Chains A and B, each alone.
Chain A
Amino acid sequence: MAIPITWIDWFSYWVGMTVCWLTVPLFGAMVYEVVARYAFTAPTMWAYDISRMLYGALFMLGAGYALSRGVHIRADFLYRNWSVKNQGRIDAFLYIFFYFPGLIAFLVMATDFAYLSWMRGERGMDTAWMPHMGPIKTALPVGIVLLLIQGVSELLKSLYAATRGRWPTQ
């Protein structure tokens, strides 16, 4: 059980270490826009769209990594008083019966959503740049896949806790 956990966590770790660099072009675009507008009265057409797409991709593609780091907040008033075995059992139950079915259904719809965007050659309509929307809409299903992959590791961790009475150490 430990080996797949290690592999998956390692995979998510590297996804996170890579995805986090999207922040750099994000502020780069904003600085460029401000300078271009004031120094040259030449606002760009693309900075607005680029910034929201980078930000959207950032948090969606980072969701799996965030799950691996346990940063999604829990209101753990009940949870923390339970034994580790019970914590593991509850988590495992929720992963199996809610997490995976829910996210798989979400993935199916989101894939269709992104696919249609590519098929229609959809462009953004609320700005004058009108960028292709396919890439950012694809980030949605990709982010869900990353969440599903990391979910396998989290499920294994909770099964480990449910059977052995302790959480696997990182």
Chain B
Amino acid sequence: MTPEVLGLLLIGCMLFAIFIGFPISFTLIFLGFVFGYIGFGDLVFYLMTFQFSSVMLEQTLAAVPLFIFMGILMEQAGLMERLFQAVQLMLSRVRGALFIAVLFVSTIFAAATGIVGASVTILGIMAAKTMNRSKYDVKLAAGTITAGGTLGILIPPSIMLVVMGPILEVPVTDLFAAAVIPGFLLAFLYTGYALLRCYLNPELGPVLPEEERAESMGHVFAEFCKGLVPPAALVFSALGSILFGLATPTEGAGMGAAGALLLTLAYRKLTWKGMQDALVKTLEISTLILFLVAASNFFGAVFSRLGTPTMLTEYLLMLDLSPMLILFLIMALIFLLGWPLEWVPIVLIIIPILLPLIDQLGFNLTWFGILVAVNLQTAWLSPPVALSAYFLKGVVPEWDLRDIYIGMMQFMVIQVFGLLLIIFFPQIALWLPGVIYGN
């Protein structure tokens, strides 16, 4: 058996093995070890060492524990719940009001950072409790949070576009400008979808029951000032400092963590035990996320080292079809590879192989880059290597993973719809860079 075929077998085994129910990180590691060892001997253990060391030194990921700490500290003090309650109180007659709030915050998060793990977990911490109590539909709730979280890799600043720029030889600034409208378009489609579902079936995002609504506008105003403003101000100043360039994402997250500490002090909610609990909970969730990131990186590295992605891509290159059909096949290939892989190996390995073909077909590379980016967002939402789902499960253990999967996959369909829109209306991506930079 050639290593490339071994890689296909690896994917087949994974689809089964993950669902045995051993912790996913370790399942990915075992599969990588076994297939890597068969494919290229004990070098696989070096590969593991290098991949873990790489993730351990990835500074942007340091934002993850910081945002989580900020979220947990504020949740402990009851500030997060209050924030979402205040939103609900203000929009008490709107079906699915919390979905709007979640997607709004996700979009801000996406514009400030590109760290999916931070966005999904903090929204899980912030919104899940309120959503549960208001009897929101778990599937739709999980779908909005996970899909909203993945907006971060599309809406600038986006690490993915930064990596893609030099590969496509397109200035990163052009890609950033081109990603803005598609990003907001998707946020809009998500919101539209959630609200439409609620409109058709009010059970999915119930309005506040009569007796819980505010008695007077005065009450709403008071709740707005006390419940919404302080925590929202903190979240927005942490994100805003990133958005307006005062700080890098990790620095902004650090400021947010320190700010949350001061805020809980101000509310007299900080105790020694509370601090220790928040820190230890931060450790648990961060470890879950980051260990999983490292494990899936390693898994992807084994798969790539076996040469399977290259083989599939080269197979595609041999086909002689019309440009549009080839574009669809390329998108399908990227979409399918997104199930077992994360975006990193796809951008680094697949795109360079495809590039000569794309050049030859005469596609606009900025447009193509955005298509790839929108397509790759689904990699976060496609099980079994669907990190968004596991991040969310980690902070909201009471939600069934099956429900999270189903919720996410609805949004994958919207994602595909968005992708088709951009394919047929390239101006969605190309209009803004044209206006800003000419040509």
Contacts and interface: CB of A to CB of B under 8 A. Distances in A.
A106 B48 contact: yes
A62 B287 contact: yes
Contacts, number: 194
B58 A52 contact: yes
Contacts of A79: 20-22
Contacts of B48: 106, 109
Given A113-B49, A137-B53, A62 B253 contact: no
B279 A21 contact: yes
Nearest to A91: B22
A26 B69 CA distance: 11
A91 B355 CA distance: 45
What's the interface size class on A, roughly?
Answer: 35 or more
B401 A75 contact: yes
A80 to B, nearest CB: 7
B23 A73 contact: yes
Contacts of B383: 75
A137 B49 CA distance: 10
A63 B21 contact: no
Residue of A23, A54, A63, A137 most packed against chain B (CB within 10 A): A23
B37 to A, nearest CB: 9
Nearest to B25: A72
Interface stretch (A3-11, A27-35, A159-167): A27-35
A102 interface: yes
Contact of B26 (A48, A62, A72): A72
B21 A56 contact: no
A19 B55 CA distance: 18
Given A34-B251, A71-B394, A140-B49, A59 B290 contact: yes
B291 A31 contact: no
A77 B52 contact: no
B406 to A, nearest CB: 12
Given A98-B30, A106-B45, A136 B56 contact: yes
A119 B130 CA distance: 54
A99 interface: yes
Interface string B216-240: 0000000000000000000000000
B416 interface: no
A56 B293 CA distance: 12
Contacts of B289: 59
A110 interface: yes
B419 interface: no
Interface of B: 18-26, 29-30, 33-34, 42, 45-46, 48-49, 52-53, 55-59, 61-62, 64-66, 69, 241, 246-247, 250-251, 253-255, 257-258, 276, 279-280, 282-292, 383-384, 390, 393-394, 401-402
The 10 closest A-B pairs by CB, nearest first: A30-B254, A79-B21, A56-B56, A72-B23, A55-B62, A59-B290, A20-B283, A52-B59, A76-B21, A20-B279
